[in-house]
Structures are given as structure tokens and as C-alpha cells.
Amino acid sequence: MTPSATHLVLIPSFNPGAKVRDTVRDARARWDPVWVVVDGSTDGSAAVLEEMARTDPGLRVLVRAINGGKGAALLDGLREAQRAGFTHALTMDSDGQHPAACIPAFMEASRAAPEAMILGEPVFDASAPTVRVRGRRIANWATNLETLWAGIHDTLFGFRVYPIAPLIEVMEHSRWMRRFDFDAEAVVRLSWRGVPAVNLPAPVQYFSREEGGVSHFHYWRDNVLLTSMYLRLLAGFLLRLPALAARRGSQGH
């Protein structure tokens, strides 16, 4: 596999459990390079990943000493990737839920439309918790409202390809977007900047504890964070409403 000079896979990781080894191996089987940002993990996974990287030149491991959240870990990785000359990053979780088999298709879509964000539209199976599936409908509605239905099909699924430069810019202008709010706020702010969305279906699998699944989702805490995020973004949406409406009007003609 020829290493890409423009597109990399970027995986934030915090106490992912045993699934991380398979996740990284599956990603490496389909793409070069793959970078993992260990976000202050305390489960020994950093040592496992660093050992893998010692014999795999296509794998790089960045280690943060203190946990800062998914968005904070990705921002560190994005900055380093930009310094290394990369223009696009496919983000995926380290716990095995996201489909490594879809990496080539998403990267190809990004190469065909480099100005766009390539967003995974999750295809759920029976393993998906009902409360998660229903809850994201509210988040999707709020995102569609605050982007004037700009074409974002799912706001929370973190399997995506981002153009690095505009993503870093919107993150550096916000003190938020560092934890569970990253995925939703990133697509809203990028849409406000005129970054178009391309949606591709992608299967998602939830693993039980017996299967090695690890979840850091906290229902009340993370939903309060999302709700406060949408309320916070509402002011920005109202300020941008005339421009967004004009853009949507021009796209309709």
C-alpha cells in the first residue's frame, strides 16, 4: 500500500479496552498512514499501541499526558498532521464500533470533493441501544435547524473525513468542541463556513461488555453538554441567518 501524502486516518483513544488493537490493525490494513492520539489513557493501551508502532512505519502514536476529551485529542493530532503536510483526516473511534472497511471509499470520496466533509450516515443493527438511536434524532433536528438543512444527515457519528485547515480554524476560534460536543459542533461550524456535506452510509456496531465493548458515554452529562451547545450556537445561527438563507436560496436556483 502506497502511503498517502494528503489523507491520514486519525484515531483519538481514551481507555479503549482490548478492541483498540483490532481497530488499529483493521485501519492499517486499509490505509497508510494511521495515527492514534492517546488521550491520557490509564489502561495500558498506550504501551500496546507504541509496541505496535515500533514494527509498523505506517502507524504513529501521539500520547497526551492528561485526558482532555475527544476534540482536544483530535486538535493535537490535526495540528501535527497539518505540520506534516496532510490536508485531510478521517476520524474514527478506537473501540471497534466504526467500520474500517469503509475507509477507502470515504477517502476516495474526499479526493473527489476535497472541499467537502465526508460524513458517515450510520446504519444501525440490533446491537444499537434504543435510547442512543432515538436521542440522536433530536440532535439531528437541531443541527438541521441551525444549518438551514444544509445536507447533514447525522450529526453525532464520528466516522468522517474532514478538510484539516478549516476544521483547525473553527476549533481555534472556540473554547468549546473539546469533548463529546466535538462531532456536532464541528459540522455546524464547518457548514456555516460553506463547507459542503457529502453523506455516505456506514455500518456501526455496539459491543457488549462481554464482547470487550467500552463506552464513555454518560447519558445525562453528555446530553446536557449537547443541549447547552445548541443553545450556545443559537445566537451564532441567528446572526448568520440572512447569509445562510441567501446561500440556500442561491443553491436552489
Give the mean pLDDT of 2-27.
94
State the pLDDT confidence band at 218, using cuts at 50, 70 and 90. low
Q: What would the mean pLDDT of 229-238 be, rounded to a whole number?
A: 93
Closest CA to 193 of 160, 170, 161: 170
Q: What is the pLDDT of residue 45?
A: 93
In the chain, DSSP finds a helix count (H) and a strand count (E) of 8, 7
The answer to whether 190 and 170 have CB atoms below 8 angstroms apart is: yes
Cα end-to-end distance, the chain, whole Å:
43
pLDDT at residue number 88: 98
Summarize the confidence of residues 9-20 as an average pLDDT: 92
* pLDDT, mean of residues 174-185: 89
Burial class (CB in 10 A: 0-12, 13-18, 19+), 240: middle
Average pLDDT, the chain: 91
The CA distance from 120 to 157, in Å, is: 6
pLDDT category of residue 194 using cuts at 50, 70 and 90:
very high
Instruction: Show Cβ contacts of residue 201 under 8 Å, excluding neighbours closer than 6 positions.
Output: 120, 121, 123
Is residue 217 scored above 70 in pLDDT? no
Bridge partner list, 203: 123
**Domains (ranges, CATH) in the chain?**
7-247 (3.90.550.10)
The reported pLDDT for the residue numbered 175 is: 85
What is the tens place of the pLDDT at every residue in 151-160? 999 999 999 9
* Lowest-pLDDT choice from 66-75, 139-148, 209-218: 209-218
Cβ atoms of 126 and 53 within 8 Å: the answer is no
State yes or no: pLDDT of 212 exceeds 60. no
| pLDDT over 80 (residue 43) | yes
Q: 44-82: per-residue pLDDT in tens?
A: 999 999 999 999 999 999 999 999 999 999 999 999 999
